[in-house]
Amino acid sequence: MGSDRHYPEEAPARRVSVTAFSIDRYPVTNDDFARFVAATGYVTVAERPLDPAEFPGAPPQNLVAGSMVFTPTSGPVDLRHLSLWWTWTPGASWRHPHGPGSDLAGLARHPVVHVAAEDAEAYATWAGLALPTEAEWELAARGGIEGADYTWGNEPEGAGPPLANHWRGDFPYRCEPGFGTTTEVGSFPPNGFGAFDMAGNVWEWTADWY
């Protein structure tokens, strides 16, 4: 697992072993998460106002429920500063993925977003599952190809059909039509293990500390 050729936090590449495990074929969808919330009344981290006593001196406007929403820029920006395309948005949550006024219409089979680690753990516990470790997730993501750069192999996408939902175009301001947001799970080919969206679409939680 890991890589010596990409992000420094992925190094060093090393050999690990895991015991047998199973993993869901698809990421958790909005429909899946809605059933969990309906059954338990669970309130996600993004929906909970902050306690002023825990953040003395913080401006009141910073103590409301909300989350970060991806916001395309009007042109090229310094890619070292993520705050240029992520916007703190009061009222954004899994129910309102783009902020107040947005909803889940047409997104039933899209992966749930604005989910914190403890939310993911609560869902998994309710479903009788567990978050995979980083080693388990990476093994599942590689689809049986040892050391591959991508879930489908070592070569980037060619001229054929897209293999994953990732940014196509000039990031973060100009994206090809049909990309730049989530897509329904299963919209792209599965990997060698039959798992979908192991690259692209959304970030996914594991049980490990970063």
All structural domains of the chain with their residue ranges: 24-175
Q: Are strands 66-70 and 86-90 parallel, antiparallel or unpaired?
A: antiparallel
Whether 183 contacts 110, CB under 8 Å: yes
**Cα→Cα distances 101→4, 85, 89, 139, Å:** 43, 20, 12, 39
Helical residues (DSSP H) of 94-161, grouped into ranges: 117-126, 134-142
Task: Give pLDDT, residue 61.
Answer: 85
CA distance 85 to 62: 19
Give the architecture-level CATH label for domain 24-175. Alpha-Beta Complex (3.90)
Q: Please give the single-letter amino acid code of residue 30.
A: N
Task: Give pLDDT, residue 147.
Answer: 83
Task: Give pLDDT, residue 103.
Answer: 98
Per-residue pLDDT tens digits for 128-147: 999 999 999 999 999 999 88
CB 61: neighbour CB atoms within 10 A? 8
Write down the pTM of the prediction. Answer: 0.94
Phi-psi region of 83 (alpha: psi -120 to 50; beta: other; left: phi over 0): alpha
CA distance 205 to 133: 9
Helical residues (DSSP H) of 92-201, grouped into ranges: 117-126, 134-142
Task: Give pLDDT, residue 105.
Answer: 98
Q: What is the DSSP string of 36-81?
A: HHHHH----GGGSPPPGGGSTT--GGGSSSEEEEE---SS---TT-
Query: Which parts of the chain register pLDDT below 50?
Result: none
Task: Give pLDDT, residue 159.
Answer: 85
Residue with tokens 């293999």: 163
Task: Give pLDDT, residue 119.
Answer: 98
Phi-psi region of 180 (alpha: psi -120 to 50; beta: other; left: phi over 0): left
Task: Give pLDDT, residue 47.
Answer: 98
Task: Give pLDDT, residue 115.
Answer: 98
